[in-house]
Amino acid sequence: MSYTEQETIDRIASVEIVTGHPRVAIRLIELSKDVDAELEDYSALIEADAGLASRMLALVNSAWFAPTHPVQTVKRAVCTLGLGQVRVVALSHCVASLHKSIKLNKDDSHAMWAASMCKAIAARLICESVEPAHAQEAFTIALLQDLGLALFSAMDQAVIGGVLSDVRLDPAAAAQAEVDAFGMTHAEAGARMAKQLGLPAFYADTIRAHHELPATDAGPQGPIQLACSIAALLPHDIRYWTSHDMQSLRDSLANNDLSWTSLESFMQVIQEEFAVTDEYLNDGVASPDLMECLGYASEENARASTVLVAQNSSLMMGAGKLQAAVDVAEHAKRRAEHRADKDPLTDLFNRSGWDRRAKLSLRQAQSTSSTIGMAFLDLDLFKEINDSHGHQVGDRFLTEVGERIKDAVRAEDLVCRWGGDEFVILFRGADEDSCMDALMRVKSHIESEPIHVERLVLSASTSVGYVVVNAGTSKVELEALLQMADENLYRAKANDRGSIVAAVAS
| H helix runs in 210-317, sequence order | 222-231, 243-255, 263-281, 290-298, 313-316
DSSP 8-state assignment for residue 283: T
Give the pLDDT confidence score for residue 242 in this predicted structure: 81
431: Cβ–Cβ under 8 A, 6 or more apart, which residues?
A: 371, 373, 468
Whether 506 has a pLDDT exceeding 60, the answer reads: no
| pLDDT above 60 (res 83) | yes
Contact 376, 464 (CB under 8 A): yes
Q: Which residue type, as a one-letter code, is found at position 341? A: D
CATH 3.30.70.270 residue ranges of the chain are 351-504
Q: Flag whether pLDDT at 458 surpasses 90.
A: yes
Kindly report the CA angle at 66 between 64 and 72, in degrees rounded to 5?
Answer: 115
Instruction: Output DSSP code: residue 307.
Output: -
Of residues 230 and 364, more confidently modeled: 230
Q: Can you tell me the mean pLDDT for 151-179? A: 89
Q: Can you tell me the distance from the alpha carbon of 214 to that of 55, in angstroms, rounded to the nearest whole number?
A: 36
- The CATH-assigned architecture of domain 351-504 is 2-Layer Sandwich (3.30)
Q: Is residue 48 within 8 Å of residue 24, measured between CB atoms? A: yes
Contacts of 249 (CB under 8 A, 6+ apart): 230, 233, 234, 263
Residue 372 pLDDT exceeds 60: yes
Q: In the predicted model, what is the mean pLDDT of residues 251-262?
A: 84
Query: Higher-confidence residue: 289 or 329?
Result: 289
Q: Look at residue 35 and tell me whether its pLDDT is greater than 80.
A: no
pLDDT of residue 321: 43
- For residues 197 and 191, what is the distance between their CA atoms, to the nearest angstrom? 10
* pLDDT value of residue 211: 92
Higher-scoring residue by pLDDT: 33, 249: 249
Check: CB of residue 289 under 8 Å from CB of residue 308: yes
- Give this prediction's pTM: 0.66
pLDDT at 324 over 60: no
Q: Which of 13-22, 80-89, 253-262, 424-433 has the highest mean pLDDT?
A: 424-433
**105-109, 120-124, 314-318, 369-373: which has the minimum mean pLDDT?**
314-318
Calculate the CA 179 to chain-centre distance.
35
Q: Which of 182-191, 274-283, 428-437 has the lowest mean pLDDT?
A: 274-283
Segment 106-138, tens digit of pLDDT? 888 888 888 899 999 999 999 988 888 888 889
Residues with Cβ < 8 Å from 423, sequence gap 6 or more? 348, 376, 377, 378, 401, 402, 405, 415, 416, 417
Arithmetic mean of pLDDT over the chain: 81
Weakest mean pLDDT among 272-286, 307-321, 361-375: 307-321
Read off the pLDDT of each residue in 268-283 and give the average, rounded to a whole number: 78
Q: Residues spanned by CATH 1.10.3210 within the chain?
A: 105-309
**pLDDT band of 310, cuts 50, 70, 90:** very low
Q: What is the pLDDT of residue 19?
A: 46
Residue type, 17: I
Which amino acid is residue 433, in one-letter code? D
Mapped onto helix, strand or coil, the DSSP state of residue 419 is strand
Residue pair 164/201 in contact (Cβ under 8 Å)? The answer is no
The total number of residues shown for the chain amounts to 506
Higher pLDDT: 132 or 331? It is 132
pLDDT at residue 30, rounded to an integer: 74
Task: Give the least confident one: 213-222, 427-436, 479-488.
Answer: 213-222
Q: Flag whether pLDDT at 481 surpasses 90.
A: yes
Handedness of CA 316, 319, 320, 322 (dihedral sign): negative
What DSSP state is assigned to residue 220?
G
Instruction: Decide if pLDDT at 40 tops 70.
Output: yes
What whole-number distance in Å separates Cα of residue 144 and Cα of residue 23?
Answer: 12
The whole-number pLDDT of residue 289 equals 58
CA distance 389 to 305: 65
Q: What is the CB neighbour count within 10 angstroms for residue 17? A: 14
Name residue 500's beta-bridge partners.
464
pLDDT-based confidence at residue 302 (cuts at 50, 70, 90):
very low
- pLDDT higher than threshold 70 for residue 315: no
Distance, in Å, from the CA atom of 233 to the CA atom of 126, rounded to the nearest integer, reads 13
Three-state DSSP state, 379: strand
| pLDDT above 60 for 283 | no
308 has a pLDDT exceeding 90: no
Give the pLDDT confidence of 181-221 residue by residue, as tens digits.
999 999 999 999 988 888 889 999 999 999 988 876 667 78
**Fold adopted by 105-309:** Hypothetical protein af1432 (1.10.3210)
